[in-house]
Amino acid sequence: MSGTGGSKKMTCAEFQEVLPYIFESGGDASEMEHLKTCPICSDLVRDLRYIADQAKLLLPLRDPSPQVWDNIQNSLEREGLVRQQAKAHSAGKKKLMEQP
Amino acid sequence: MPGLTEAAAIEQAKGGDSIAFEALYGLHKRRVYSLCLRMTGNTAEAEDLTQEAFLQLYRKIGTFRGESAFSTWLHRLSVNVVLMHLRKKGLPEVSLEETLEPQQEDGPKKDIGARDNVLAGSIDRVNLERAIENLPPGYRIIFVLHDIEGYEHNEIAEMMGCSIGNSKSQLHKARMKLRDLLKLSKAEKAARR
């Protein structure tokens, strides 16, 4: 296995032990050397980067049910946080503010 | 509300305008709900927490001074609502410090000596969402906050009350677990062909 030969070379176990802490920075010379020469650890890092990159592309899932706004509105009124006169316009204008 | 900007809606909401409240809800509900749903993995809880997050928003909107973007402020508030809820439930921060040591079944050493096919190009959104749902709660929260919501480790550490190293460690374990889940899913898909 790569990384276990020379006495001064980093092993896979050593590399993977520090990986959480060097993932973003890239690590020092010996860690980078191990990554360059070890197919197992380079596959691992590639996979983890791929997962992180794909996660960044995830979009918001979906809207909550309409009941959520109804509950919020009731609570706002109960707590006196809203001016009552504006409520009459609310239903008709609701859809205009929906996100696409 | 045609022509109403977010900034105008915020100012009007500070004065108790219910239309402005609704406008802000319409603009941000999807992202707040998705955050709650991904963090809890439970639809009913996510709806309750979305409701609570917006109620807190409306109660506190008078204190919003615009030092950060409104969406940043709202999402931070929402994260805190979810974390508070999970803390009350005893999940998952209780186990966060306990899982600092690598566990045998998902620790980093398991890869040694076993080179598999890489994942690149094999993940679709549905598979990834499903795998995230199947993460243990502690891992899932860190992963959602860092890799999906874009929080830095120092911010996560502050919100979760843990060390930056702990946040990094948990995130790594989350990604390792996801890698396992996604490889399993890939292998199952291949076997069906």
Q: B2: pLDDT confidence band, cut at 50, 70 and 90?
A: low
Query: Within this chain, do residues A80 and A52 fall inside the same structural domain, yes or no?
Result: no
Contact criterion met (CB below 8 Å) for B49 and B27: no
Contact A62 B120 (CB under 8 A): no
What distances in angstroms separate CA B9 from CA A95, B15, B161, B190, one per listed residue? 16, 10, 34, 51
Name the band, by pLDDT with cuts 50, 70 and 90, for residue B174: very high
**What is the nearest CA distance from B90 to chain A, expressed in angstroms?**
25
Q: What is the ipTM of this complex?
A: 0.80
CB A12 within 8 A of CB A2: yes
Output the pTM of the full model. 0.80
Which residues from chain A sit within 8 angstroms of residue B101, using beta carbons? Answer: none
Q: Say if residue A17 is in the same domain as residue A35.
A: yes
Residue range of the domain that includes B163:
93-192
Rg (CA), chain B: 19
A1-10, A69-78, B12-21: least confidently modelled range? A1-10
Between A94 and A75, name the one with better pLDDT: A75
Same structural domain for residues B52 and B32?
yes
* A19/A38 same-domain check: yes
Provide the number of structural domains found in chain A. Answer: 2
Considering only residues B95 and A57, tell me which one the structure prediction assigns the higher pLDDT: A57
Which helix (H) or strand (E) segment is B110 a member of? none
Q: Would B81 be classed as within a structural domain?
A: yes
Number of domains in chain B: 2
Interface test with B, best of A23, A41, A45, A50 (most B CBs within 10 A): A50
Residues on chain B touching A86 (C-beta within 8 angstroms): 17-19
**Do A51 and A17 fall into the same domain?**
yes
Q: Are A22 and A44 part of one and the same domain? A: yes
Residue B1 has pLDDT above 60, yes or no: no
User: With 0-12 CB in 10 A as exposed, 13-18 as middle and 19+ as buried, what is B129?
Assistant: middle
Q: What share of chain A in percent tops pLDDT 70?
A: 75
From B31's Cα to the closest Cα of chain A, the distance in A is 5
Do A18 and A39 lie in a common domain? yes
Q: What pLDDT, on the 0 to 100 scale, is given for residue B167? A: 92
- Same domain assignment for residues A23 and A51: yes
| B26 part of a folded domain | yes
Which of A7, A17, A76, A63 lies closest to B16, judged by CA? A76
**pLDDT of B77:** 95
Same domain, yes or no: A42 and A78: no
Shared domain check, B81 and B134: no
Whether residues B117 and B179 share a domain: the answer is yes
Q: What is the pLDDT of residues B78-126, one digit of tens each?
A: 999 999 999 888 765 434 444 434 333 344 444 444 555 777 777 788 8
Return d(Cα B75, Cα B128) in angstroms, integer.
Answer: 22
Which of B69, B89, B109 is a domain's end point? B89
Query: What are A40-55's pLDDT values in tens digits?
Result: 888 999 999 999 999 9
A56-60, B18-22, B85-89, B188-192, range with the lowest pLDDT = B188-192
Q: Are residues B124 and B141 in the same domain?
A: yes
Q: Residue B59 is encoded by which pair of tokens?
A: 């109660």
Count Cα atoms within 13 angstroms, Cβ side, for A55. 28
Contacts of A61 in chain B (CB under 8 A): 30, 33-34, 37-38, 129
In this prediction, what percent of chain A has a pLDDT beyond 90? 22
How far apart, in whole angstroms, are the C-alpha atoms of residue A13 and residue B104?
13
Contact B68, B51 (CB under 8 A): no
CA nearest neighbour of B26 among A77, A80, A90, A78: A90
Q: Kindly report the CATH number assigned to the domain that includes residue B69.
A: 1.10.1740.10
Interchain contact, B33 vs A68, CB within 8 Å: yes
Q: What angle do CA B111, B152, B181 make, to 5 degrees?
A: 30
Domain of residue A83 covers 66-97
Is B1 inside a domain boundary?
no
- Enumerate residues 6+ apart whose C-beta is below 8 A from A38: A1, A2, A3, A12, A15
Same domain flag for A19 and A41: yes
Q: With 50 as the cut, is the pLDDT of residue B6 above it?
A: yes
Query: Quick one: closest CA in B to A71, which residue?
Result: B51
| Shortest Cα distance, chain A CAs vs residue B26, angstroms | 5
Task: Please report the pLDDT score of residue B83 as a whole number.
Answer: 94
Which of the residue ranges A56-60, B12-16, B108-112 would you say has the lowest mean pLDDT?
Answer: B108-112
Q: Please list every residue in chain B whose beta carbon sits closer than 8 Å to the beta carbon of residue A14.
A: none
Residues A51 and A71 in one domain: no
For residue A20, being part of any structural domain is answered with yes
- Dist CA B149 CA B136 (whole Å): 18
pLDDT of residue B107: 44
B154 min Cα distance to partner chain A (Å): 13
Among A51, A59, A84, pick the best mutation site for testing chain B contact (most B Cβ within 10 A): A51
Q: How far apart are CA B193 and CA B188, in angstroms?
A: 9
Q: Quick check: is A5 in a domain?
A: no
| Residue A10: band (very low, low, confident or very high) from pLDDT cuts 50, 70, 90 | confident
**Residues ≥6 apart with Cβ < 8 Å to A48:** A23, B172, B175, B176, B179
pLDDT at B15 over 90: no
Q: Is residue A2 part of a domain?
A: no
Answer yes or no: do B78 and B99 share one domain.
no
State how far the Cα of B24 lies from the Cα of B71, in Å rounded to an integer. 10
Last residue of a domain, one of B89, B112, B135: B89
B136 and B62 in a single domain? The answer is no
| Distance between first and last Cα of chain A | 52
Establish if B137 belongs to a structural domain: yes
- B33-81 pLDDT tens trace: 999 999 998 999 999 999 999 999 999 998 998 888 999 999 999 999 9
- Whether the per-residue pLDDT at A7 is higher than 80: the answer is no
- Domain's final residue, options B62, B89, B116: B89
Residues of A in Cβ contact (< 8 Å) with B5? none
The answer to whether position A61 is within a domain reads no
**Model pLDDT, residue B54:** 96
